[in-house]
Amino acid sequence: MRRSDDSLIGRLNAEWVRLCADPATQAAVDRWRLAEVESLDGLEAAVRRDADGVLLALLRLGRSGDGLALRSVFQLMLGKAVRIAATHAGRDSRASLEQAAVTALWTVVAGYPVERRPVKVAANIAMDTLRLTVAELAHQRHETPSSPEQLHPAAAGEPSDPSDPSGASDPPDLELFELLAWAVGRGTISRDDAALLVDIYAPAPGHEGGRAAAERHGISWAAARQRASRATRRIADAVRADAPTGPGPTSWV
């Protein structure tokens, strides 16, 4: 279920529920004239069928002044912002981390370059949100944004994201695997680096990430963090530079 507490995420989810129930919202959705989208309640299913088509249409509407369209893209990606915040657990309060990630997400959604990056839109939004969040948190602490300690490994049994719009758990993280497969396929990172990233940040059920993953790979934790940091930077750069007509990572929705 979506988080429904008094946190920022809870309030955003509550606002979304109100929007979905508001009769005026349906009239606005009708004006979109998107064959794939009949209502806000059906938006997630429409994105699963045609992520780039629906997201690009909404982003274009948003650039024309349609606030509901931008808010819809924002809500669809909100679960990923919460995940990004969770990777920094322990470095600040959850509220502060989520505020940084949500702010970064809105900045990315509002300024997304639809003409230049019309493919793999969700992956681009997620990676840009990660980059801005890390940069902001690093700035707050006067640290280098690319510090490998900016990302924190997953622990065994880590719960699924409670704000994910689908309301469903997401083990294993297939989107991450597909993104890494794309990065390996285009030569951005090696297979060994991809395997290390998976083991650190999305380990198999019952296995711990982080230091335990490094030990399984026969390297020190410091070396693993350095390799992971370099690999994630290369992936982020590759996603941002992805040509509109070329292949890209699977949408991170």
> Whole-angstrom Cα distance, residue 95 to residue 8?
7
- Within a domain: 247: no
Q: What pLDDT, on the 0 to 100 scale, is given for residue 153?
A: 53
Residue 111 lies in a domain: yes
* 109 and 59 Cβ atoms separated by less than 8 Å: yes
Single-letter amino acid code for the residue at 145: P
Quick one: pLDDT at residue 178? Answer: 65
Contact 116, 239 (CB under 8 A): no
pLDDT at 106: 94
From residue 3, alpha-carbon distances to 79, 90, 167 in Å are: 10, 20, 9
Query: Which residues fall within 8 angstroms of residue 36, CB to CB, at 6 or more apart?
Result: 46, 49, 50, 53, 54
- Domain range for residue 156? 8-12+46-241
What 8-state DSSP symbol labels residue 246? S
| Domain total of the chain | 1
Residue 88 lies in a domain: yes
Average pLDDT across each block of 10 residues of the chain; the chain has 253 residues. List them in order: 84 95 94 94 93 96 95 94 79 88 93 90 85 71 38 47 41 58 82 84 72 89 88 80 41 34
Q: d(Cα 161, Cα 80) in Å, to the nearest integer?
A: 8
On whether the pTM is more than 0.85, the answer is: no
Provide long-range contacts, Cβ within 8 A and 24+ apart, for 191-198: 193/227, 193/228, 193/230, 193/231, 194/231, 196/224, 196/227, 196/228, 196/231, 197/228, 197/231, 197/232
The answer to whether position 136 is within a domain reads yes
In a domain, residue 18? The reply is no
Domain membership flag for residue 34: no
Q: Is residue 23 part of a domain?
A: no
Q: Indicate whether 194 belongs to any domain.
A: yes
15-22: long-range contacts (C-beta < 8 A, 24 or more apart)?
16/40, 16/71, 16/75, 19/68, 19/71
